[in-house]
């Protein structure tokens, strides 16, 4: 069994309740967005800012490498999601919203929803066992979409 399949199967064990799945289908990509937004908000040294980059851009490199090592289609899907997230952050900036305040508020709300979902499910979140599952969640979300499009992961 491929590593991605093993991780998704293990992650799926604590995500079988339809309400929990619905909550996760909203909260997981939202948490990915706001986490990148919070990291984007951390001031960068001049040598990074010179290139128009933020800590979010720097962090996304190893994160996307991780996803591509798990699966090419998952890596491509996460690259797309990451681009959309960065565009979304630019929308917040365009409308002069405080990125870190918006993302912090959404971070708290989305994690509360996640824990409500797991309470309904009656199982602890997977990342309590292994922090790697914080990165598996978005891949799990994409797999549902890839399957609907008949794309192998």
Q: Is residue 12 part of a domain?
A: yes
Q: Is residue 31 part of a domain?
A: yes
Q: Is residue 75 part of a domain?
A: yes
The per-residue pLDDT for 7 is 93
Q: Is residue 153 part of a domain?
A: no
The pTM assigned to this predicted structure is: 0.92
Answer yes or no: is pLDDT of 147 > 90: no
Condensed to tens digits (0 to 9), the pLDDT of residues 65-120 reads: 999 999 999 999 999 999 999 999 999 999 999 999 999 999 999 999 999 999 99
Query: Do the Cβ atoms of 37 and 100 come closer than 8 Å?
Result: yes
Q: Is residue 63 part of a domain?
A: yes
Query: What is the span of the domain harbouring residue 65?
Result: 3-148
Question: CA 25 to CA 83: how far, in whole Å?
Answer: 19
**DSSP secondary structure, 9-47, as one string:** HHHHTT--SHHHHHHHHHHHHHHHHHHHHHHHTS---HH
Structural domain tally of the chain?
1
The per-residue pLDDT for 1 is 64
The per-residue pLDDT for 2 is 83
Burial category of 148 from C-beta neighbours within 10 Å (exposed 0-12, middle 13-18, buried 19 and up): exposed
């Amino acid at each position: 069994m491929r590593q991605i399949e093993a991780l998704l199967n293990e992650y799926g064990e604590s995500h079988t309740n339809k309400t929990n799945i619905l909550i996760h289908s909203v909260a997981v990509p939202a948490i990915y967005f706001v986490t990148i937004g919070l990291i984007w908000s951390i001031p960068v040294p001049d040598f990074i800012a010179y290139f128009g980059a933020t800590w979010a851009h720097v962090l996304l490199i190893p994160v996307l490498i991780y996803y591509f090592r798990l699966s090419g289609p998952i890596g491509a899907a996460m690259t797309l999601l990451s681009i959309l997230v960065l565009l979304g952050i630019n929308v917040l900036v365009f409308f002069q919203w405080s990125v870190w305040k918006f993302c912090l508020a959404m971070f708290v709300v989305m994690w509360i929803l996640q824990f409500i979902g797991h309470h309904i499910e009656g199982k602890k979140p997977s990342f309590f066992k292994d922090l790697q599952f914080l990165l598996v969640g978005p891949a799990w979300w994409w797999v549902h979409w890839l399957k609907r499009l008949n794309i192998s992961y």
